Structure 1
Amino acid sequence: MQSSDVKLDKLELRLGYKFADQALLLLALTHRGVSGVNNERLEFLGDAALGLAVAELLYQRYPDVQEHHLSLMRANVVNREALAAVAREIDLGDHLRLGPGELRSGGFRRDSLLSNALEAILGAALIDGGVDAVRELVVRLLGDRLDDDALTRKDPKTRLQELMQARRMPLPDYRIKAQDGEAHEPVFLVECRLAKLNVAVEARAGNRRDAEKAAAQRALDLLEEQS
């Protein structure tokens, strides 16, 4: 058995899933910096499979929760940071196949690469074992997060919006102040402004949505301090 096979076997143990076609798992771990044949198509497939599996599980576990809240709960699980955290729990970074540039920049620690690879693994599992394989992996890897009480909390943007509505004030205004970083790893600086309260806070994140959430949370924290 080759060393690469041993590494894949170890990863399968951490995943709790044995691939019938281990070449699919190897492909799921292959970044585009290594080969033109890489994990991006599997990532596309896995993203859709993950969303469906999580939606189904939330629907079953929370029969009294309405659609809008279910969507918020799903977003708290199916996002870059949450998936990267799961990837770190199974030491996924140790198994990634990266090009020289990504290796030099510590790509095996980067949230985007870890979350993308995890989605690619789910896409590979869908091809290898069907929907049931994806569902089992999602339960095994994300099950605790689906049961977490934090899932039932509304995200900061929703809470801030509802607070402004309750006070009969204009809704928060979010604006991109700057965008920097590399093309494949952008960083957004977003401002959240509450005009009537003379509040303006900023936050950074790897995408606009997360930056807006972070800014909303800072606004909520500031309002709590002032109350």
Structure 2
Amino acid sequence: MKLSAELRDFSARIGHDFADPELLIRALTHGSISSATRPDNQRLEFLGDRVLGLVMAEALLEADPQAAEGVLAPRYNALVRKETCAAVAREIDLGAVLKLGKSEMVSGGRRKEALLGDGMEALIAAVYRDGGFEAAKALILRLWGTRVQTVEADARDPKTALQEFVQARGEPTPRYEIVKRDGPDHAPRFTIAVVLASGERAEAEAGAKRQAEQAAAKALLERLET
């Protein structure tokens, strides 16, 4: 099977020439368009998640030989979480080559966090099955770039960190409110406010409620800490 010109360009963009093009096609096939003759990427996603985890665990140990497990764990979680996979997927424009059913295309599937994250993990597995562990490791380290070195800034979950901060002041848990919801159903935008019992608050906007909550928490925490 030969790849289309679009997929050949994508293959070149990620820096891996597939000996078995079918693996790339399967990695990009969402369940909404799969069939008996066209398997989806779920099994590859399962494998890719494990390959990514091993590569990142090893990379973190090498980057900081003295770090304790309690320090490494949040860094690891920040590097392998779905949001990070989706961010990497956006950088290589993976959404443009995903094979989706009509319903997913109409609902903005090419921009959905979960679909992009799953597709990124499936792509990792496809490279692993095609070229072996070293090829997959090279791909991951290349695409994740400087994230391993700069992960400390992202390792703390902002909502958790804010909760710990205000509880240390003897205040109750922060409250999150939806201030506004804009945009069509397939591409909504949420403005979320985080409010403290003391009256301090911050707002943030994102395409998902969880992202907006995290961004609002981060903004308020930075203000409080300074």
In the superposition, the TM-score normalised over structure 2's length comes to 0.75
| 3-state SS in 2 of match to 1:65 | coil
- Against the structure 1 CA distance between its residues 149 and 94, is the aligned structure 2 distance closer, same or farther, given a 3 Å change threshold? closer
Matched-pair contact (CA < 8 Å) for 2:177–2:194: no
Of the structure 1 ranges 115-124 and 89-98, higher mean CA displacement relative to structure 2 is found in 89-98
Question: Paired residue for 1:220?
Answer: 221
Q: CA RMSD in A?
A: 3.7
Separation in 2, partners of 1:222, 1:32: 43
Q: How does 1:71-150 map to 2 (within 5 A)?
A: 71-148=73-150, 150=152
Separation in 2, partners of 1:52, 1:141: 15
Shift of 1:150: 5.0
Separation in 2, partners of 1:207, 1:67: 31
In the superposition, the TM-score normalised over structure 1's length comes to 0.75
| 3-state SS in 2 of match to 1:172 | coil
Shift of 1:145: 1.5
- Against the structure 1 CA distance between its residues 46 and 144, is the aligned structure 2 distance closer, same or farther, given a 3 Å change threshold? same
Query: What is the aligned-residue identity percentage?
Result: 42
Quick one: which amino acid aligns to residue 85 of structure 2?
Answer: L
Cα offsets for 1:24-48 (capped at 9, x unmatched): 1100000111113201111111112
Gap runs ≥5 in structure 2: 179-186
Matched-pair contact (CA < 8 Å) for 1:32–1:39: yes
Question: Paired residue for 2:47?
Answer: 45
Matched-pair contact (CA < 8 Å) for 1:49–1:123: yes
Matched-pair contact (CA < 8 Å) for 1:69–1:154: no
Shift of 1:125: 2.0
Gap runs ≥5 in structure 1: 178-184
Separation in 2, partners of 1:67, 1:92: 33
| 3-state SS in 2 of match to 1:64 | coil
- Against the structure 1 CA distance between its residues 65 and 161, is the aligned structure 2 distance closer, same or farther, given a 3 Å change threshold? farther
Matched-pair contact (CA < 8 Å) for 2:175–2:196: no
Matched-pair contact (CA < 8 Å) for 1:72–1:154: yes
Question: Paired residue for 2:8?
Answer: 9
Shift of 1:69: 2.4
Cα offsets for 1:120-179 (capped at 9, x unmatched): 111222222332222111111102211226547633245335534654x267367899xx
Question: Paired residue for 1:172?
Answer: 173
Matched-pair contact (CA < 8 Å) for 2:78–2:155: no
Shift of 1:207: 7.5
Question: Paired residue for 1:60?
Answer: 62
Shift of 1:201: 7.2
Shift of 1:216: 3.3
Q: What is the aligned residue count?
A: 220
Shift of 1:60: 1.0
Quick one: which amino acid aligns to residue 15 of structure 2?
Answer: G
